[in-house]
Every structure is written in structure tokens, then in C-alpha cells.
Amino acid sequence: MEQFEMIADNAENIYQLIHAESGRRLDPFDIVLQFKIKNRTEYVSADVDVKATAEDIASSGKSPNITSYARIRSEYVNDPDYIFIVLSLKHKVFSERFPETGMTNGVMEVVSYSVYDLKYISERDLSYNPALGTGQLQIRDIHYVDIVNRTAWEFCQMLDAKFIRSRGEDAWLKMATKYQWIKTD
């Protein structure tokens, strides 16, 4: 968050990050960023979900929960230009314990990062886990992701196909009606 606030203060940046705000508890994102492109009147917002993984744990970054199926699908139905960024931070921790006090001093160092727009993560890399609520979207391995250009409509179709394969067409129709993704008139 502090890094984004410093970027917002940089007058040289053509994208003019004008606002950065922390998400609240239970928000699907950790940070909201708002941009204004220089010499234009439009504003763009992006929700950012930060995922931290440990460099020294082999399974770290495997299938993290990103967001709920219904929540993200609804966002793209309401705004096809919606931007949901996954920021992956790989870190290692150094610590030392002081025997005389019993206190431990630890430092976390970010050793690499990756940034993905959720809409463009390949179908193979994005999975649907039905275990929680309406189901969770997960990235198979957050450190190795292929990107595919697609529209919001194509993204929603891919998500729907994953849901239907897992829970069936009747469950999808019930959910689509509940969240008003389809009209029943």
C-alpha cells in the first residue's frame, strides 16, 4: 500500500495513480487503485488481490483461492471493463533470535513478483473449486501462468463452463437467475 501511495505522488507518471485504498475485511481485493490518464478525462479503477508465497516452501503458490465465482462473474456482468489484478509476491524470511532477551527479529524480503489481470489467465491455469460457497477460482501455480487475450464475455463463458462441468446446468441456471445474469421475462 505504501508503494502505491508513493507512485500516486509521482507527478511524472502518465497514468497518474490518483488514489490507493486498502480493502476492508471480506472484500475480494486487498487494494483499490484509481488512475487518471494524463490529458484525458476518463478514470480507471483496478481491484488488486495480493498473494504472498514463500520462496523456501515448495508447495507455496499452488492453488491459492482468488475470489468467488459468483462475485467475480457478477463484477464482469455489471462492468465488462472491470479490472481485477492478482499481485503475487514471492518472499523469504530472515530471522535471528537473541538468547539474552528471547526475542526474535525477523525481516521479510520480496525476492520476485508477478502481476496478472484475472480475465487473461489461461483456462488451463485457472481452476474452479466447488468446496466454498458458490465456488472459488484458484490459480494452479501462481508462479507460472500463461496469458490469453479474451473479452469479458469470453471470460464469463469460460467461468460458466467450469462451473457447469462441476455442478451441472441446473445449478448454473438457478445461480444465474439469483444473481440476475439472465432475464427470466
Q: Are strands 31-36 and 43-54 parallel, antiparallel or unpaired?
A: antiparallel
Domains of the chain plus CATH, in order, are: 2-94+105-178 (3.40.600.10)
**Which tens digit of pLDDT belongs to each residue from 116-152?**
899 999 999 999 999 888 899 999 988 888 999 999 9
**Which tens digit of pLDDT belongs to each residue from 30-89?**
888 888 877 778 888 889 988 887 777 666 657 677 889 999 999 999 999 999 999 888
Q: Are 89 and 61 in contact (CB under 8 A)?
A: no
